[in-house]
Amino acid sequence: MAQHLFQTSAAGWGLSALALGLVWAQLVWVLPRLRREAGVAASVMLVFSIAAVAALLWWQLSVPVGWTLPVVVALAFGHVGWSLGRKQPRRPDATVTRAPSSTLSAPRSTLPAQADRGSLGRYRIERELGRGAMGAVYLGRDPKIGRQVAIKTMALSREFAGDELVEARERFFREAETAGRLQHPDIVTIFDAGEERELAYIAMEYLKGDNLQAYTTPAKLLPVANVLLIVARVADALHYAHSQGVVHRDIKPANVVVDPATDQVKVTDFGIARVADSARTRTGLVLGTPSFMSPEQLAGRRVDGRSDLYSLGVMLFQLLTGRLPHRSESMATLMQQIANEPAPDVRSIRPDLPEALARVVALTLEKRPEARYSGGQQLAADLRAVVASMKSHGQQPGPVNAAALPPDSSGFAATVKMERVDTGHNPSL
C-alpha cells in the first residue's frame, strides 16, 4: 500500500513538473512569437491536453490530479496578461486625421535601457528630438570623431513577430544600406545602421532648421518664388534617387527640412517608409500618408519614380495654397477622390498665380503615371523657368486671403477644373 502511494505520488509530482514546464514554455517562448488568434488557439489546446492527460491518469492509474488546477489557472492568467500586452492595431481612419510627423516613435516605456542610460550602439544620446508611430528620434554624438548625429529608431519587435520579424529586420537593413548609398547635396546622409535589444536604428546627418510642415497653413506660406526653388531642388534630388533605383514612397512636407540661414534643403526618410508600410498593411491600414499618395500607390500597384512626383505635386499644391487638393475625414472618400476626381486648379484658390505654374502643378497631379512628368529633372527645370519668368515680368503673387477660402472640408475639391490643352513633357500622349 505504502509503495503504491509512493509510486502514484512520484508520478503526480513528475507530471506536475512536466505540465508546469509546458506552461512556462508556452508563456515565455511560444506566445510572444504568435499572433493573437494563434496564441489563443495554442493556449486552449494546451489546457485541454493537460486536462485530458490528468483525467486519463486518474481513471486508469489513480494518479492524483489536484495539481492540474493551479497549472490551468497559471496558464489562463498568463495568457490573459500576454493578450492584453499585445499592441492593438490602429483604426484606419487615424491615418487620415492624424497630423503628419517626420519622426517614428514608440511609447517611452518600450525604449531599451541603453537609450535611457544615454547610449545606443556606439552613440551617446544627448536628448530626444521627437516621437512618432514606431520609435523615437534622438540627438546623439559619435564619441570617436565627436560628430553630432540624428538617431532614428524603429521598435520592430512591437510590430512584428516570428518570421515576419526576421523579414522586417532584413528589409530594414537592406533599405538602410540602399539609402546610405545615396550621395546628393539635397538628400540627408546616412552614416550607420544597427540594432540593439530589438530596437533598430539609423544614424544620420543631424539637420538644423524646420521641416516644410511649418509652412503649410495660409497664414505661414513662404513666398511663391521660394517655394518653387525649394521644390525644384527636391525634384532634382528625387531624379538622382530614381536614377539609382530608389523610390521614396512618402514625399510630404514633413520629410523635407529647410534652413534659410544656410540655404539648406534636405529630403529625409529614404527607405523608412517601406519598412513602416509593411507593419501598417498587416492590420489593413493604407501605406504612407494617404493625402500625399498617388492613385497607383493607394491601389496597391507597383510604383516608380512618377509616384514620388505625384506626391511632390501634392506638396507643391499645399505649399502654394495652404490646402490639400483632396481631403476627407473618411478614408474611403479620400481614396475615391484621389483615384477619380481631378485636382483643382491652384488658381481657383490663388488667382494671381501664373498660368504656367498652374500647368506644372496640374501635370504633376495627373491620375495616370504616363501623363505626368517622366522625371524630376524636367519638373525642376520648369519650376525654375516659372521663377525666371516671374522675375522678368515683375510678378509677385500676394498672400493667400484665408477669409476668402472655401470651407476646409470634403467639399473643398469642388473647384474650377483646368483644361488639359498641353501634354507637357509627354509627347507620346
Binding residues for ATP: 152
Q: Please tell me the distance from the alpha carbon of residue 212 to that of residue 169, in angstroms, as a whole number.
A: 30
Longest dimension (CA), the chain: 112
Can 277 be counted among the known catalytic residues?
A: no
Sequence-distant (≥ 6) Cβ neighbours of residue 229 within 8 angstroms: 383, 384, 387
Q: What is the residue-wise DSSP string for 197-250?
A: TTEEEEEEE---SEEGGGG-SGGGPPPHHHHHHHHHHHHHHHHHHHHTT---S-
CA separation, residue 104 to residues 109, 189, 313, 397 (Å): 15, 18, 24, 36
Cell digits of residue 46: 494546451
CB 110 within 8 A of CB 158: yes
CB 241 within 8 A of CB 270: yes
Question: What is the dihedral sign for C-alpha 350, 256, 238, 336?
Answer: negative
Cell digits of residue 293: 499618395
User: Quick one: which of 240, 256, 136, 255 has its CA closest to 181?
Assistant: 240
CB 26 within 8 A of CB 44: no
Element holding 90 (H helix, E strand):
none
User: Quick one: which of 301, 428, 297 has its CA closest to 372?
Assistant: 428
Element holding 426 (H helix, E strand):
none
Q: What is the residue-wise DSSP string for 113-182?
A: HHHHHTEETTEEEEEEEEE-SS-EEEEEEETTTTEEEEEEEE-HHHH--HHHHHHHHHHHHHHHHHHHT-
In SS3 terms, 98-109 reads as CCCCCCCCCCHH
Q: Please tell me the distance from the alpha carbon of residue 341 to that of residue 367, in angstroms, as a whole number.
A: 9
Beta bridge partners of 152: 137, 202
Q: Which residues sit in the known binding site? A: 152
The residue from 250, 269, 277, 308 that is catalytic is 250
Active site (catalytic) residues: 250
